[in-house]
Structure 1
Amino acid sequence: MDLNMAKKSFITLFGSQLKLWFMKNTKVKVGILLLTMIIWLFTVLRNQYTYTIDTTLDILNIEQGKTLKEKLPEKIKVNFSGKGLDLFYLLVSQKSSFKFVLDVENIHWFYDFNLNEYFANNPEKIIIPRNVDVKFNHVVYPESLRVELDRLDVLKVPVRPRLNIKTAPGYIVVNDPVLEPDSITLSGPRTYLKKYKEINTEEYNISDVKSSIEINLNLEISATDNINIPTQRIHLFQDVDQIGERVITNIPIKLKGVPHGTNVEISPSEVTLTVVSAVSHLKDIQPEDIEVYFNFQKNWKRGENYYVPMIELPAGIISWSNLTPRRIEVRILRERSF
């Protein structure tokens, strides 16, 4: 027991002295620690290493009027040897000063590149910052690359919004949505571009809507088609309004399909009905906007004088009711043989 107590006392005393040592002359000790780290870092950065780095791959000199049929990787994995400081500088270098360039000037349609062979034979295509002393060893991935070209086409297509809007009771969607832009000019390989008749937005679902909708929607295009698109989003406005009713009077009745030489008269010449539409649209409805007509050639029957006219509503009117009068009289005033 005495021995164990002695050990515990020694450990407690040593811990106290160590803590006291750290608390005294703190600035000196921090300075020593920083100096030690700097010396260690300087030593490490001067050592020789072999390291694999993700490097930008640039494709240059594509034949005019053509483009890449398939997307190529933007980066390749390349193995270098050099001092730690030089390798570190490569890691933080800008894209323009450190990249591998694949020149496709002599390719008409396709070519399979062995990247290790290509860059070994064309060291000038390896762009490395000045004053960086590293050695290119080999391309790790991909070791080979197929470059395939296609005709470059340009195509303007409409934007189709994928909307599922459910309004609250007593409300209605007014007119078609307003898109900005409402069409997109695409460019890319003819093989893939020709299948685009329109471009869809992402799907947008909303319910219990009581006010107008204004949102930005992403456009959907296949990432594998190598299609260039000037914008990834469109702005959409969809008007939503309350439903109301209005009585429209003095709506003229038109006669259609009257044979030449037949004099037909209708009575009355005007009707009244109630329409249902968005409140904002009701005030703009004119009697001439609603087509009320009787087609003599299709509907007239000998011996029958009273008919229910046909009604065609313009866009924006949901329904009609309370036609007054319900039936009109159709009279032949003079009939000729024909």
Structure 2
Amino acid sequence: MKPKFLKIFLSTIFSIILWIFVSFSYEYTTTFRVPINFTNIKESNTILSQSSNEINLTIKGQGWVLAQISSVAESYFQISTNEKVGIQHADVREALSENSWLNPSVQVVMLSPAVVDYAIERLNSKVVPILTDIKIDIEEGYGIVSDIILNPDSVKIFGPVTLMNTIHDVSTKPLQLTNIDEDISTEIVLKPLEYIKYEKEITRIEFSVQKLVDKTFENVPVKVENVPNLRTLELFPPHINITLRGGLVNLGVMRTDSIKATVDFNDAFLDSLGKINPKILIPNFTTLTNVNPKTLKYIIKQN
């Protein structure tokens, strides 16, 4: 039983191989697209524009040869610029000889476009700022408690002079961060620009996120400003309690002297109610939620 099965199996495999061999021996016609790659460009020059980015090729040949051509992972249709500058015109059929990946046994039935127009210009470089395209969604009860840092925040770009004169900044690819409840440090890819190269194609965004809490700072002294000579402004009370909302860690290390409370003598001098409101200066990334008392009584004395 086993020898019979093996005989049938081997016969089937042989038939398949024979069929493939015979089939690939026939001639076929196929069409595919190949991206254009310009060669022989001076280091000081670059491509400014081109009428087409790819060549449509229809070729005829044996199946084996066509399969070999199709298997080439990264084929480019090479067009030599011969180190010329300015507006140029390339005859695509004449450029066939520069593309060694095209087996000489195949017949080029059709190619499109027949002519590729392109322009070569002097290469220039400059440094431009990076703009972010980021949407940040913070988890409820949390908040951003630091500056959003982009590192680097600028990049050196290279491109043709005419195009470079129109570019004043570059942008990152869109990035969406959702339900964030911890510090963020992540790379962002710069959005590609045609005919422009980046010295570095990525940047990094960093910021701190903490749970938001309230903290009351008691007995914050109120400083009197702009007091003229021979005058004194006495406040009642001279200290106030201030409640801030901010990051748990940040508020934990914050002291009373991190907050500034002031009143202006001139405000008291022009006041007719006998009470003035202190001005509060709080640290970055905190929110003022309460001041107690909100108004202060005062007495102006002459020395």
**TM-score interval w.r.t. the shorter chain?**
0.7 to 0.9
Equivalent position of 2:114 in the other structure: 143
- Corresponding position: 1:119 with 2:95: yes
Cα distance per residue 1:63-86 (max 9 Å; x no partner): 434332347866423233433322
When the two structures are superposed, what TM-score results if normalisation uses the length of structure 2? Answer: 0.76
Counterpart of 2:244? Answer: 276
Q: Is the 8 A contact 1:44 1:84 kept in 2?
A: yes
Q: Distance between the aligned counterparts of 2:282 and 2:130, measured in 1?
A: 28
Change (3 A) 1:215 1:30: farther
Select the structure that is richer in helix. Answer: 1
Q: How far off its partner does 1:293 sit?
A: 2.3
Asked if the contact 2:35–2:77 (Cα under 8 Å) also holds between the matched residues in 1, the reply is yes
Q: Residue in 2 aligned with 1:228?
A: 197
Aligned to 2:22, the other structure's residue is in SS state: helix
Q: In the alignment, which of 120, 125, 139 is matched to residue 153 of structure 1? A: 125
Q: Residue type of the partner of 2:95?
A: F
Q: What is the deviation of 1:311?
A: 2.0
d(CA) in 2 for partners of 1:72 and 1:224?
17
Distance in 1 separating the partners of 2:151 and 2:255: 30
Distance change in 2, residues 1:231/1:316 (3 Å): same
Q: CA deviation at 1:189?
A: 4.1
Computing the radius of gyration from Cα coordinates, the structure with the larger value is 1
1:245 aligns with 2:215: yes
Q: The residue matched to 2:132 in structure 1 has which SS?
A: strand
- Structure 1 residues 254, 160: CA separation in 2 closer, same or farther (over 3 Å shift)? farther
Q: What's the Cα RMSD here?
A: 3.8
Q: Which of 137, 143, 150 matches 1:165? A: 137
C-alpha displacement of 1:281? 1.9
- 2:259 is aligned with 1:290: yes
Could you tell me which runs of 5 or more consecutive residues in structure 2 were left unpaired when the two chains were aligned: none
Give TM-score scaled by structure 1 length: 0.70
CA gap 1:57/1:134 in 2 versus in 1, 3 angstroms:
farther
Tell me the residue number matched to 1:29: 8
Measure how far apart 1:284 and its partner are. 2.8
Structure 1 residues without counterparts, runs of 5 or longer = 1-21
Alpha carbons 1:59, 1:103 under 8 Å: kept: yes
Cα distance change of structure 1 residues 55 and 326 upon mapping to structure 2, 3 Å threshold: closer
Task: Tell me what 2:47 maps to.
Answer: 68
* Structure 1 SS opposite 2:215: strand
Deviations for 1:166-203, whole angstroms, at most 9, x for unmatched residues?
Answer: 542x4433223344555444443455554343524525
Name whichever of 30-39 and 223-232 sits farther off: 223-232
CA positional deviation for 1:253 = 0.7
2:148 maps to which residue?
A: 177
Question: How many aligned residue pairs are there?
Answer: 298
Determine helix, strand or coil for the equivalent of 1:52.
strand
CA positional deviation for 1:305: 6.8
Summarize the alignment of residues 193-272 of structure 1 with structure 2, pairs less than 5 Å apart: 193=164, 194-202=166-174, 204=176, 206=178, 211-212=181-182, 214=184, 216=186, 219=189, 221=191, 225-229=194-198, 230-231=200-201, 234-256=204-226, 262-268=229-235, 270-272=238-240
Equivalent position SS for 2:8? helix
